[in-house]
Structure 1
């Protein structure tokens, strides 16, 4: 499970780098919060979870870890797309659905991770 998290994290590293270059060359700096979230939640947090699960393999193989994986990796793209919608001409309910739905999924995943670490990391 750790390797999956690490591989996903390097994809976010590529995305955050490309997004930063896009922002720089187009001088569209309204995307700063989204850029930061791609870097922190996508690259750093995902990579760190991967490292923890690589070290503590028992924790990585639980049902809680698998549920956490899916909640996080389905929720985060929705959250990030929703954050971009804030600066686009979309109905308020649509970006709120993406931000809230994705954010809640990520928050549930973090809760699963905390419980999993406290139960299985010794």
Structure 2
């Protein structure tokens, strides 16, 4: 689970950096919220979770770890696609953004629960 999260975080990092490069080249910064969220919730958060899961494999083997992975990686793309449309002026995508954001929030809460419940001092 740890390595899987680190690998997918690298994909989010590449997407976030490419989006940042596009915005800087075009001088159009409409997608700044998308860029920031992809880098923070995709790259940074998932890398750190992946490192924790790698260092403490017993917490990576839980059902909550699997739930965290899937909630986060379904929710984040949904939220980012919805947010990209919303900041472009298409408010019909607000529900998709909200749904994705809710899934990511649940993922973070599941992750926190997993760490608090299962990570113990040896």
TM-score w.r.t. the length of structure 2 is 0.94
The count of corresponding residues between Structure 1 and Structure 2 is: 120
Which residue number in structure 1 is paired with residue 42 of structure 2? 42
TM-score w.r.t. the length of structure 1 is 0.94
Which residue number in structure 2 is paired with residue 119 of structure 1? 117
Task: Return the alpha-carbon distance in structure 2 between the equivalents of residues 31 and 66 of structure 1.
Answer: 30
Q: Report the alpha carbon displacement of residue 106 of structure 1 after superposing the two structures with TM.
A: 0.4
Does 2:30 align with 1:4?
no
Which residue number in structure 2 is paired with residue 67 of structure 1? 67
Instruction: Check whether the contact 2:30–2:88 (CA below 8 A) recurs between aligned residues.
Output: no
Which residue number in structure 2 is paired with residue 103 of structure 1? 101
Which residue number in structure 2 is paired with residue 33 of structure 1? 33
Secondary structure of the corresponding residue to residue 30 of structure 2: helix
Deviation digits for residues 95-115 of structure 1 (CA, Å, limit 9, x no counterpart): 111111000000111110011
Q: Report the alpha carbon displacement of residue 89 of structure 1 after superposing the two structures with TM.
A: 4.5
Unaligned runs of 5+ in 2: none
Q: Report the alpha carbon displacement of residue 72 of structure 1 after superposing the two structures with TM.
A: 0.5
- 4+ runs deviating over 2 angstroms: 87-90
Query: What is the CA RMSD across the aligned residues, in angstroms?
Result: 1.0
Unaligned runs of 5+ in 1: none
Secondary structure of the corresponding residue to residue 87 of structure 2: coil
